[in-house]
Amino acid sequence: MALRFVIIGGGPAGHTAATHAARLGAEVTVIERDIVGGAAHLWDCIPSKAMIATGGAMALTKRAEGMGLASMQATLDFEALRDRNAAIEGRLNRSICELLESQSVRIIRGTGRLDGPNTVVADSADGTERIEADAILVSTGSRPRIPEWAEVDGDRILTTRHAYPPKELPSHLVIVGSGVTGVEFVHMFSSFGSKVTLIVSRQQVLPAKDAEVAAALEENFLDRGVVLMKGARAIGIDRDDDGVVVRCDDGRQVAGSHALLAIGAIPNSESVGLEAAGVELDRGGYVPINHHCQSNVPHIYAAGDVSGKLPLSSVAAMQGRKIAEHVMGLHTRDHRHLDYDKAASAIFTEPEIADVGLAEADAFAEGRKIRVTKVPFSASAKALIEGDPRGFVKILSDPNTGVVLGGSIVGRNAAELISVLALAVTAGLKVTDIVESLLVHPSLAEALADAAE
């Protein structure tokens, strides 16, 4: 009899685990209450990047004159934007469902929960079904954190889930939270023409990032007229018919037409029957996992945001893939553990920001000797041709061996270009491997070879 593998939550972790396990011979069931593709497709990665792409197209029209064109005027059409998001999500959902069905994965559209360590209960429009499982994956994701001092109404006080797009273009959007999500929404709405104020609890946006990288982004925000309220922590939001007032702990307050909360996420781990099945949760409600993504109950796995590791779609999908291998016993052969420190990530702002591997600040904090080389895109022929020479490439390598340890890219197409450094970091390549690659000319990638020199 095939191994029975039941997955609760069909986001990147769940559907990737499902396809791989089915391909390897498991009998797989996925239970999903919203859409297969998960919050990643419905609310997070995909609609946010689709809206940012529209903002990017608007920005391009503003740069038209600098590109030798007569001036162009773009007008935002919120209905068209909403339809475009729905069309992209629909297309992606269909292709994932087709892939799962082609692998004979059973999809139950309903809510799943554990009832003991080997039984999953699915509640759907067809009724309640009990499914016995040899292995279970909990990949239920997370949702925006809403503090007790804010009453989200989806009208003027929003989370990211109300913003694709909101009912109307905010004339003045106050964004609380200056991490990755906060700065992407600053970029999105200021590209659309909204006035934006960003409440920054520390002295720098993106507090976890390299100071030089954060400074490049702040400069762009200030150039666009974004107001940065630094060193302020929001403690309350009042609203009336016309707008909102966000109050901060230092007495400052800012009035706007809308407020958007981007202050992190909480795991979807309650109501899943985890404790009753013997699965331990940490104080934040996440499921602690080992390097095979097993919870303390060995045949119950957790992946994606609910596992409390890096909250990235790419990481969730890779966890799903590794879990499929482990469930099917393939980890005993040719298996590489997932190394979270080598995950590439990007921030889709202007300029775009991407990094991978060791960060310069961490190397200094550890007293580790590294070689840091950096070139600006202003020296790149392609960047000048594209009319956008902002930003730089920075590569960190081992001074003795030349092995690439990490890097940051700020500038056009950074999210694509970082793939070269991600491959180098994962495969343990040396800076000379990059320098000696015969790259396309003119291309932005040439800056990587120059930085590696």
Ligand X SMILES: Cc1cc2nc3c(=O)[nH]c(=O)nc-3n(C[C@H](O)[C@H](O)[C@H](O)COP(=O)(O)OP(=O)(O)OC[C@H]3O[C@@H](n4cnc5c(N)ncnc54)[C@H](O)[C@@H]3O)c2cc1C
**CB-based contact 89:97 (threshold 8 Å):** no
> Smallest distance, Å, CB 45 to ligand X?
4
> Smallest distance, Å, CB 277 to ligand X?
13
Nearer to ligand X, 37 or 446 (CB): 37
Residues that bind ligand X (CB under 6 A): 8-14, 31-34, 38-40, 44-45, 48-49, 111-113, 139-142, 160, 181, 268, 272, 304-306, 311-314, 316
3-state secondary structure the chain: CCCEEEEECCCHHHHHHHHHHHHCCCEEEEEECCCCCHHHHHCCHHHHHHHHHHHHHHHHHHCHHHHCCCCCCCCCCHHHHHHHHHHHHHHHHHHHHHHHHHCCCEEEEEEEEECCCCEEEEEECCEEEEEECCEEEECCCEEECCCCCCCCCCCCEEEHHHCCCCCCCCCEEEEECCCHHHHHHHHHHHHHCCEEEEEECCCCCCCCCCHHHHHHHHHHHHHCCCEEEECCCEEEEEECCCCEEEEECCCCEEEECEEEECCCEEECCCCCCCHHHCCCCCCCCCCCCCCCCECCCCCEEECHHHHCCCCCHHHHHHHHHHHHHHHCCHHHCCCCCCCHHHCCEEECCCCCEEEEECCHHHHHHCCCCCEEEEEEHHHCHHHHHCCCCCCEEEEEECCCCCEEEEEEEECCCHHHHHHHHHHHHHHCCEHHHHHCCCCCCCCCCHHHHHHHC
Nearer to ligand X, 113 or 322 (CB): 113
Nearer to ligand X, 165 or 311 (CB): 311
> Smallest distance, Å, CB 170 to ligand X?
16
Alpha-carbon distance of 249 to 234, in angstroms, equals 6
> Smallest distance, Å, CB 337 to ligand X?
19
**CB-based contact 317:13 (threshold 8 Å):** yes
Q: Strand pairing partners for 128? A: 123
Nearer to ligand X, 318 or 431 (CB): 318
Give φ, ψ of 377 to 5 degrees: -70, -15
Alpha-carbon distance of 189 to 173, in angstroms, equals 8
> Smallest distance, Å, CB 97 to ligand X?
13
Nearer to ligand X, 39 or 248 (CB): 39
> Smallest distance, Å, CB 105 to ligand X?
15
> Smallest distance, Å, CB 343 to ligand X?
9
> Smallest distance, Å, CB 267 to ligand X?
9
Nearer to ligand X, 14 or 165 (CB): 14
Nearer to ligand X, 228 or 261 (CB): 261
Nearer to ligand X, 323 or 451 (CB): 323
> Smallest distance, Å, CB 189 to ligand X?
13
Nearer to ligand X, 176 or 451 (CB): 176
Nearer to ligand X, 114 or 359 (CB): 114
> Smallest distance, Å, CB 313 to ligand X?
3
Beta-strand pair 244-248/253-256: antiparallel
Angle at 151 between CA 149 and CA 153, to 5 degrees: 160
> Smallest distance, Å, CB 161 to ligand X?
8
Nearer to ligand X, 10 or 429 (CB): 10
CA distances to 124, 177, 186, 408 from 222, in Å? 50, 17, 11, 22
